[in-house]
Structure 1
Amino acid sequence: MSAWLWLVGAASAGIAAAPFLRERRRPIMDAQARRAAPGEFAPLPLGETHYRWAGQARGPVAVCVHGLTTPSFVWEALLPELSRLGFRVLVYDLYGRGFSDRPAGRQDAAFFTGQLDALLADMLEEDEAITLIGYSMGGAIATAYAARRPERLRSLVLIAPAGMGHDLGPLARFARGAPLFGDWLFLAGYPRQLRRGIAEEAAAGRESAVPDMAERQAAELRWRGFLPAVKASLRGILARPMEAEHRAISRAGVPVLAIWGREDPVIPLSGLGRLVQWNRVARQEVVEGAGHGLVHTHPAEVAEAMRDFVEDPPG
């Protein structure tokens, strides 16, 4: 009987340790891995940040902030559209994603706005105003930054923005609220959930204009630190509504445009009504037939929704 109990205990310990061991065995994003990276790197306080410039050689600067699981390549289809709108565009990888470093710790608003502030200080003059464009979780980051540094912004564009109600599924909700067992369950189950979500987006018939989008997004799972970064964001920047920040942006008079996908299951269209309550002068547009991936499935429509606003922002 004792041998049987020992075997059960050993098997249980192995099951418990397996997700953590898999994470430790994943390759590190290091100098060798970065040899394939386009663009350049900025040595910021919490680590190397991958960035690149696109669009016009001169003109107003647009800074694009990507979402929870898709690095800066998610913008590739929209970059030519932003260039046609006259922008010089800066895209970068958030900590924990793409070619950037994976620092540990809580990924809250201060974590992400600190990265953006340091990058802008490295790239631009202090008095150079920007159009800040945030997609999905990047919308929450852009909102937090605009509330803290409204003087830096010419305008704010939010595309399917988090912070006004979102549904990332039961696993994400559980992991956010259960620090111990949630860690194990997230490492064990989230890769399958992410792959399923990628497949469902493709099955919906919304073809991505970014080459190999699904494969590149799924490839993030192979790097050490990606899953902990996603979990840290769920417990940080994505843990609460951003009503206070939106009301502060409204008081500061920052021009805001929000663009929504009509069929987005992740950031539902109900966020439009919530934003109306928090910022009555924000302009809002809806892209018909678009899901959550509208920046790469409907880039022309997103750019068209932006055109009048960026050429002559209100205020």
Structure 2
Amino acid sequence: MPLNLTPIDARGLTFDVAAAGPEDGPAALLLHGFPQHAGEWDAVVPALHAAGLRTYAPNQRGYSPGARPAAVEDYRLAECVADALAVLDALGVDAAHLVGHDWGAIVAWALAARHPERVRTLTAVSVPHPTAFAHAISTDAEQRERSSYMRLFREPGKAEHVLLADDAAALRGVLAGVGAGRVDTYAAPLREPGALTAALNWYRAMSAEEMAGTGPVTVPTTYVWSDGDVAVGRFAAEACAAHVTGDYRFVALAGVTHWIPDEAPAALAEAILARIAD
């Protein structure tokens, strides 16, 4: 995990935030996904810093030990969006360039849709707009199969047992695409008591109504998808455009898996900076 984590108090919780880059630079808020943490941006941020951006990457709800409520309902999408806003408030940031991967992308989409005044640009990575994703799961058989792992993740106790058994072999398998040298970086924190349950609670609190009810995004937006993503197919990816009314760009990376920030950090940084430059 990043060594320069700063505790930020927000909403009665304490979030560990990796802050770096020019202190007077435009702010970029980077939201990680499952089963990772703020360290997933480590290879992306040097290019952002070189371009003059100040980056803030929080360990989100459940991933920061000081922000780990017990109830499943505490991990609803609305709570996670409120966390991101509260972190920006605590940092004194009125509006930020927003980047999110996986579950972080879902939070970023919802934040941009509901609070466009707080978002200068949006770069969503891997996971499309929640309404497009929910529609794809309900209507596209291929996407439904790709998302079938969520049924296990929503089963309390069973999912933890499966993922942590045999020295966390299944969890390590999920993370295989990040590269052999990075797997332990993400897996080790989730083996701490209560950590994996908190991370899985994002899935258990997930509501089809909340996902499908996310409105259109009006801010300038880039969606970065990869054709080697086993979790998100092209049907869902291409459906994303219908839910953005602001300037929109779809970037498809060939031969890259779901783990874009780890596997293709230069291409991702290029997409983020191109969106900001525009």
Give the paired residue count. 259
Residue 183 (structure 1) aligns with? 156
Question: 1:287, 1:302 within 8 Å by CA — same for their partners in 2?
Answer: no
Superimposed CA distance per residue, residues 190-222 of structure 1 (whole angstroms, 9 cap, x where no aligned partner): 2343222223x26xxxx47xxx41111110232
2:4 equivalent among 38, 43, 48: 38
Q: Structure 1 residue 148: deviation in Å?
A: 1.9
Other structure's SS at 1:104 match: coil
TM-score between both structures, scaled by the size of structure 1:
0.74
Q: For residue 238 of structure 2, what is the amino acid of its counterpart? A: G
Q: Structure 1 residue 103: deviation in Å?
A: 1.3
Q: Structure 1 residue 81: deviation in Å?
A: 1.5
Q: Cα distance 1:240–1:193, how it changes in 2: closer, same or farther (>3 A)?
A: farther
Q: For residue 227 of structure 1, what is the amino acid of its counterpart? A: L
Instruction: Work out which of the two has the higher radius of gyration on C-alpha atoms and give 1 or 2.
Output: 1
Q: Which whole-Å CA distance do the structure 2 matches of 1:296 and 1:196 have between them? A: 15
After TM superposition, list the pairs within 5 Å mapping 1:138-217 onto structure 2: 138-161=104-127, 163=130, 164=133, 170-176=148-154, 182-191=155-164, 192-199=169-176, 201=177, 207=179, 212-217=181-186
Runs of 5+ consecutive residues of structure 2 not aligned to the other structure: 138-142
Q: Which whole-Å CA distance do the structure 2 matches of 1:230 and 1:168 have between them? A: 20
1:274 equivalent among 232, 235, 239: 239
1:137 equivalent among 96, 100, 103: 103
Other structure's SS at 1:133 match: strand
Q: Cα distance 1:38–1:168, how it changes in 2: closer, same or farther (>3 A)?
A: farther
Q: Quick one: percent identity of the two aligned structures?
A: 24
Q: Structure 1 residue 256: deviation in Å?
A: 1.0
Q: Which whole-Å CA distance do the structure 2 matches of 1:267 and 1:240 have between them? A: 20
Residue 196 (structure 2) aligns with? 227
After TM superposition, list the pairs within 5 Å mapping 1:61-100 onto structure 2: 61-98=27-64, 100=66
Other structure's SS at 2:156 match: helix
Residue 55 (structure 1) aligns with? 21
Q: Structure 1 residue 246: deviation in Å?
A: 4.5
TM-score between both structures, scaled by the size of structure 2:
0.83
Other structure's SS at 1:276 match: helix
Other structure's SS at 1:245 match: coil
Residue 31 (structure 1) aligns with? none
Most deviating of 99-108 and 214-223: 99-108
Question: 1:46, 1:103 within 8 Å by CA — same for their partners in 2?
Answer: no
Q: For residue 274 of structure 1, what is the amino acid of its counterpart? A: A
Question: 2:47, 2:269 within 8 Å by CA — same for their partners in 1?
Answer: yes
Q: Cα distance 1:246–1:289, how it changes in 2: closer, same or farther (>3 A)?
A: farther
Q: Which whole-Å CA distance do the structure 2 matches of 1:175 and 1:160 have between them? A: 19
Q: Cα distance 1:150–1:54, how it changes in 2: closer, same or farther (>3 A)?
A: same
Question: 2:99, 2:105 within 8 Å by CA — same for their partners in 1?
Answer: yes
Residue 113 (structure 1) aligns with? 81
